[in-house]
Amino acid sequence: MKKLGTFFLKATKGLAIKEVVSINGQIDSKAAISVFDRGFLYGDSVYEVTLTYNKIPFLLDEHLDRLYRSARSIHMEFSFSREELIKDINNVIEKLEGDRQYIRVIVTRGAGEINLDPSAATKNNLVIIGRNLPEYPISWYEKGVSMIITDILRNSKRSMDPGVKSGNYLNNVLAMAEAKEKKAFDAIMLNYKGNITEGTTSNIWIVEGSRFVTPPLDAGLLGGITRKTLLLIASKNNLSVSEENISPERLKAADECFLTSSTKEIVPIISVDDCPIGTGTPGPHTKSLHKIYKKFVQESLKK
């Protein structure tokens, strides 16, 4: 194995490279992050995750637009250009030999004195992680998954805005820990009003009759790229779709339920808190929407 920063470039003769890490444009043994980095000390960072189809990063512009919006929201300026960032992302993709890759871009405010003053750091650290991403279990999509509604509340927009994709993820970590303790796939988080916001790393949808409903952004959630895409393509395919507040009771009474994320796409949720959703099996509208989404992905890659 060739050492790569604090990670390893995993390769065996004749096998594909499985993991590549770039730090400030360097893919070599000298790349490292200081323990004084504010991302490590305070979670003072923003990030994005996408995947590649046939080595093409999907909806990269949309992800980078959100990365820049997140940075502006926490008053973080980047010490590199968008062109340099894209170049570094492509370098990581080229180093990996698989077609389906997980790409994570992390930008920290940088290293500096140990204090809360953001001006203590003067230059960002840019970390790009690329990993081969195996196909997820087919059972997720054919049989669905079970989730819980966690006691851990989603952050208020007046504390740490969930619309900012930042390194502050401890409440999501705690929610996931509760889900795993209860042997659930994931957790759904509520806001302080008791309405559904999102999963720990995904957006939540329900189906009522033939209507697709997802919580509005002002419920306190991250505006997912897949969520935004589905709102657009559902309307273009004459599907009824809306953004409305959803109570736990309304969710459990829905005909269907599913989650969306960039890497997982659309995963049916068949029960919440051991309460079956609809028939307790992946619903027809969820399956139909997933087919429409997959078609959109393939058409997008041809452009």
Does one domain contain both 114 and 181?
no
Q: Are 220 and 157 in contact (CB under 8 A)?
A: yes
Does one domain contain both 278 and 143?
yes
Give the CA radius of gyration of the chain. 20
Alpha-carbon separation of residue 188 from 201, 204, 269 (angstroms) = 10, 8, 11
Beta bridge partners of 276: 271
Token reading at 256: 């269907």
Does one domain contain both 146 and 288?
yes
Task: Among 90, 111, 132, give the residue marking a domain's end.
Answer: 132
Residue range 177-225, pLDDT digits in tens? 999 999 999 999 999 999 999 999 999 999 999 999 999 999 999 999 9
Number of domains composing the chain: 2
Does one domain contain both 121 and 9?
yes
Does one domain contain both 209 and 264?
yes
Active site residues: 165
Does one domain contain both 32 and 118?
yes
Task: Among 132, 158, 174, give the residue marking a domain's end.
Answer: 132
Q: What is the pLDDT of residue 30?
A: 73
The contacts of residue 303 (CB under 8 Å, 6+ apart) are none
Does one domain contain both 254 and 148?
yes
Does one domain contain both 120 and 73?
yes
pLDDT tier at 16, thresholds 50, 70, 90: low
Task: Among 101, 132, 163, give the residue marking a domain's end.
Answer: 132
Token reading at 265: 């796409």
Q: Is this prediction's pTM over 0.85?
A: yes
Residue range 19-67, pLDDT digits in tens? 999 999 999 767 789 999 999 999 999 999 999 999 999 999 999 999 9
> Average pLDDT in the 121-134 region?
94
Q: In this structure, what CATH number is given to the domain that contains residue 9?
A: 3.30.470.10
Sign of CA dihedral 25, 30, 32, 36: negative
Whether the per-residue pLDDT at 2 is higher than 80: the answer is no
Alpha-carbon separation of residue 124 from 118, 168, 279 (angstroms) = 11, 17, 50
Q: In this structure, what CATH number is given to the domain that contains residue 241?
A: 3.20.10.10
Does one domain contain both 144 and 293?
yes
Does one domain contain both 185 and 234?
yes
Q: Which residue range is the domain that position 86 belongs to?
A: 2-132
Q: How far apart are the first and last CA of the chain?
A: 38
Lowest-pLDDT choice from 23-37, 74-88, 133-147, 284-298: 23-37
Does one domain contain both 177 and 116?
no
C-alpha span between 50 and 75 (Å, rounded): 24
Give me the phi and psi of 60, to 5 degrees please: -60, -40
Does one domain contain both 196 and 250?
yes
Higher pLDDT, 16 or 24: 24
